[in-house]
């Protein structure tokens, strides 16, 4: 190291001075440069500071933006998550939609097939439609035809209605007429009553408006008695109870006649439609007697009731060609029947119905059995007054009918008791009052007896000479005397 005096010498030396000058000039230049540079760098620094400031504020902004970005990123993440969930849900929905789509496609296929089937059906239906249209055209023309027919039927129907109204009025009138109904004027042709002398035959109705008085018993016994005497007897059973038929024929035979349609009801049915119906086809042979006598029967069963109703209604409504009150007359008065039978005995029902009227319209005679009790006796004057004795009846039904007589049945003994005699004579008076003239009462009375009740020996050739047989023979005698001579047969066994 140099001492301080040396340093002065150094400093006072030229070189030093030159160095100092140089240094000074360098310093001045340096200062100037420093000043310029400082100025420059100060400005520069300022600029930089400003830039830094602005960068800081930009950084702050950027940080804020970043923060905001973070937040929005978080939000975005959240929304991303949400969207992912939604996407998952969406996926599921899409899956489901795809499934539905495939199902829909299946359905579409099915619908297409169905559609094709329907199309085919439609085509077929079109064909059928064309066919049906043809049919419908035919039907329309048929309907038009039917319309015409309908009009005709309608007018016929109107006519029938008017007929029905007329019928109803007639039925009402008939109901009001009560018992006098049968005496109405005949509308259709009435067969002529051939006189007994011409027919040489007796038609006898056994009648009373009371049941159980012995009509069937008297009819059966009288017929059998006449047959034994040589008469050819035809019985006609017109009581729907068929008691006379039961007496004369066994049950199986009656059933057969019913099945064959050979009973009185069948005859009436046929005759009301065809008035020329012959009775012969309905009559049964019951027995033959050695003396030429015979018993035939037109039987009846309970079905006669239905036929009576039909005949009555048809008569009231004025239907049919013949007047149904005269069917039996037309048949019995035919020469063939008149030749075949000497006596016809008709067993009547206990009331005036169309069967009874048929019997009375055909008959020459009436026999009225009666029991001597008040109930039975009071029906006889009624029968005489309202039917047999009535002028209207005689005019419209039968003016040739004669009352042969009243016969007392089921008396206590052969000879009447005092009470019976009294009743019997009272009946005579009441009958005279009703008929306006004496009405014959037969001498013969029929006592009550088992034989008469059972009718066991009815068709025996030679029955025992029982009391009942003798009684009916006596009654037959009385009746025979009343018959015109040409109708009588010579008396035989029983007389
Ligand atoms: N004289 C008589 N004696 C005994 N019984 C009789 C006599 N007359 C009728 N009967 C009986 O009386 C009942 C009624 O007689 P029926 O002849 O059938 O009467 P209708 O025909 O009037 O109804 C019958 O059982 C019959 O046998
Ligand atoms: Mg009877």
**Which residue is listed with tokens 């602005």?**
54
Ligand 1 center from residue 211 Cα (angstroms): 9
Spatial contact of 345 and 233, defined as CB atoms under 8 Å apart: yes
Q: Whose CA is nearest to atom 9 of ligand 1?
A: 214
**Which residue is listed with tokens 């057969």?**
256
The residues, ordered by sequence, that sit 6+ positions from 217 with a Cβ below 8 Å of its Cβ are 369, 409, 446, 452, 453, 455
Ligand 2 center from residue 173 Cα (angstroms): 30
Mutate to test the pocket of ligand 1, among 453, 456, 457 (most ligand atoms within 8 A of CB): 453
pLDDT at 58: 80
Integer Cα distance of 191 and 157 in angstroms? 32
pLDDT at 494: 41
pLDDT at 93: 85
Q: Whose CA is nearest to atom 3 of ligand 1?
A: 448
Ligand 1 center from residue 414 Cα (angstroms): 16
Ligand 2 center from residue 347 Cα (angstroms): 7
Ligand 1 center from residue 219 Cα (angstroms): 11
> Which token pair is 406?
């009243």
How many CA atoms does the CB half-sphere of 468 hold within 13 Å?
Answer: 21
Q: Whose CA is nearest to atom 6 of ligand 1?
A: 453
CA torsion 383→455→289→262, rounded to 10°?
A: 60
356: buried, middle or exposed (CB in 10 Å: 19+, 13-18, 0-12)?
A: buried
pLDDT at 495: 38
190: buried, middle or exposed (CB in 10 Å: 19+, 13-18, 0-12)?
A: middle
> Which token pair is 24?
């000074």
Q: 369 pairs with which residues across the strands?
A: 407
**Residue 220 CA, closest ligand 1 atom number:** 17
**Residue 448 CA, closest ligand 1 atom number:** 3
pLDDT at 298: 98
pLDDT at 44: 77
From the CA of 207, the nearest ligand is 1
Mutate to test the pocket of ligand 1, among 208, 209, 211, 214 (most ligand atoms within 8 A of CB): 214
Ligand 1 center from residue 298 Cα (angstroms): 20
Q: Ligand 2 (ion): which residues have CB within 5 A? A: 215-216, 239, 243
Question: Could you write out the three-class secondary structure of the chain?
Answer: CCCHHHHHHHHHCHHHHHHHHHHHHHHHHHHHHHHHHHHHHHHHHHHHHHHHHHHHHHHHHHHHHHHHHHHHHHHHHHHHHHHHHHHHHHHHHHHHHHHHHHHHHHHHHHHHHHHHHHHHHHHHHHHHHHHHHHHHHHHHHHHHHHHHHHHHHHHHHHHHHHHHHHHHHHHHHHHHHHHHHHHCCCCCECCCCCCHHHHCCEEEEECCCCCCCCHHHHHHHHHHHHHHCCCEEEEEECCCCCHHHHHHCCHHHHHHHHHHCCCHHHHHHHHHHCCCCCCHHHCEEEEECCCCCEEEEECCCCCHHHHHHHHHHHHHCCCCCECHHHHHHHHHCCHHHHHHCCEEEEECCCCCCHHHHHHHHHCCEEEEEEECCHHHHCHHHHHHHHHHCCHHHHHHCCCCCEEEEEEEEEECCCCCCHHHHHHHHHHHHHHHHHHCCCCCECCCCEECCHHHHHCCCCCCCCCCCCHHHHHHHHHHHHHHHHCCHHHCCCCCCCC
How many angstroms separate the Cα of 194 from the Cα of each of 5, 190, 191, 334?
220, 12, 9, 9
pLDDT at 492: 45
From the CA of 372, the nearest ligand is 1
Q: 402 pairs with which residues across the strands?
A: 365
Mutate to test the pocket of ligand 1, among 217, 349, 351 (most ligand atoms within 8 A of CB): 217
Low-confidence ranges of the chain (pLDDT < 50): 491-495
Q: Whose CA is nearest to atom 26 of ligand 1?
A: 453
**Residue 243 CA, closest ligand 1 atom number:** 18
From the CA of 213, the nearest ligand is 1
Longest dimension (CA), the chain: 234
The residues, ordered by sequence, that sit 6+ positions from 347 with a Cβ below 8 Å of its Cβ are 206, 215, 216, 219, 220, 235, 236, 237, 238, 239, 243, 244
Q: Whose CA is nearest to atom 10 of ligand 1?
A: 453
> Model confidence over 306-326: pLDDT tens digits?
999 999 988 888 887 789 999
Integer Cα distance of 105 and 200 in angstroms? 108
pLDDT at 82: 85
Q: Whose CA is nearest to atom 5 of ligand 1?
A: 453
Ligand 1 lining (C-beta closer than 6 Å): 211-217, 243, 409-410, 446, 448-449, 452-453
From the CA of 412, the nearest ligand is 1
pLDDT at 46: 83
Q: Whose CA is nearest to atom 2 of ligand 1?
A: 448
End-to-end CA distance of the chain: 226
Q: Whose CA is nearest to atom 17 of ligand 1?
A: 214
Ligand 1 center from residue 53 Cα (angstroms): 160
> Model confidence over 209-266: pLDDT tens digits?
999 999 999 999 999 999 999 999 999 999 999 999 999 999 999 999 999 999 999 9
pLDDT at 67: 84
Integer Cα distance of 201 and 487 in angstroms? 5
**Residue 208 CA, closest ligand 1 atom number:** 22
> Model confidence over 116-171: pLDDT tens digits?
899 999 889 889 888 888 888 888 888 889 889 999 999 999 998 888 887 777 77
From the CA of 211, the nearest ligand is 1
**Residue 210 CA, closest ligand 1 atom number:** 22
Integer Cα distance of 425 and 443 in angstroms? 12
Ligand 2 center from residue 369 Cα (angstroms): 11
Q: Whose CA is nearest to atom 15 of ligand 1?
A: 214
Ligand 2 center from residue 350 Cα (angstroms): 7
Ligand 2 center from residue 244 Cα (angstroms): 7
């Amino acid at each position: 190291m140099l001492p301080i005096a040396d340093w002065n010498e150094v400093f006072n030396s030229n070189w030093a001075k030159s160095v100092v000058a140089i240094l000074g000039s360098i310093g001045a230049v340096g200062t100037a440069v420093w000043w310029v540079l400082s100025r420059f760098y100060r400005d520069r620094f300022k600029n930089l500071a400003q830039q830094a400031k602005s960068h800081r504020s930009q950084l702050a902004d950027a940080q804020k933006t970043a923060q905001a970005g973070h937040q929005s990123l978080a939000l975005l993440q959240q929304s991303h998550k949400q969207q992912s969930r939604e996407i998952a849900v969406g996926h599921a929905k899409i899956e489901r939609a795809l499934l539905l789509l495939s199902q829909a496609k299946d359905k579409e296929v099915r619908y297409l097939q169905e559609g094709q089937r329907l199309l085919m059906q439609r085509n077929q239906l079109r064909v059928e439609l064309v066919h049906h249209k043809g049919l419908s055209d035919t039907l329309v023309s048929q309907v038009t035809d039917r319309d015409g027919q309908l009009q005709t039927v309608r007018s016929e129907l109107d006519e029938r209605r008017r007929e029905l109204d007329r019928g109803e009025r007639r039925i009402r009138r008939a109901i009001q007429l009560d018992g006098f109904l049968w005496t109405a004027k005949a509308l259709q042709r009435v067969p002529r009553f051939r006189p007994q002398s011409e027919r040489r035959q007796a038609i006898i109705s056994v009648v009373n408006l009371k049941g159980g008085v012995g009509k069937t018993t008297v009819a059966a016994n009288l017929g059998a008695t006449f047959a034994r005497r040589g008469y050819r007897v035809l019985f006609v059973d017109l009581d729907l109870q068929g008691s006379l038929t039961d007496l004369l024929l066994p049950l199986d035979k009656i059933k057969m006649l019913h099945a064959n349609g050979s009973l009185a009801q069948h005859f009436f049915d046929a005759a009301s439609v065809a008035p020329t119906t012959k009775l012969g086809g309905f009559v049964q042979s019951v027995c033959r007697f050695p003396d030429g006598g015979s018993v035939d029967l037109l039987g009846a069963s309970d079905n006669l009731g239905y036929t009576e109703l039909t005949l009555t209604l048809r008569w009231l409504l004025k239907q049919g060609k013949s007047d149904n009150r005269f069917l039996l007359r037309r048949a019995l008065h035919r020469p063939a029947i008149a030749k075949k039978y000497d006596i016809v005995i008709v067993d009547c029902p206990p009331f005036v119905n169309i069967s009874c009227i048929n019997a009375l319209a055909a008959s020459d005679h009436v026999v009225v059995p009666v029991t001597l009790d008040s109930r039975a006796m009071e029906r006889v004057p009624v029968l005489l007054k309202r039917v047999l004795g009535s002028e209207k009846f005689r005019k419209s039904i039968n003016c040739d009918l004669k009352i042969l007589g009243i016969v007392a049945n089921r008396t206590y003994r052969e000879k009447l008791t005092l009470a019976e005699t009294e009743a019997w004579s009272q009946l005579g008076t009441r009958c005279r009052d009703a008929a306006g003239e004496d009405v014959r009462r037969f001498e013969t009375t029929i006592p009550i007896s088992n034989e008469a009740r059972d009718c066991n020996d009815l068709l025996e050739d030679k029955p025992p000479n029982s009391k009942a047989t003798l009684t009916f023979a006596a009654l037959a005698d009385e009746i025979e005397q009343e018959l015109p001579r040409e109708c009588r047969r010579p008396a035989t066994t029983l007389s």
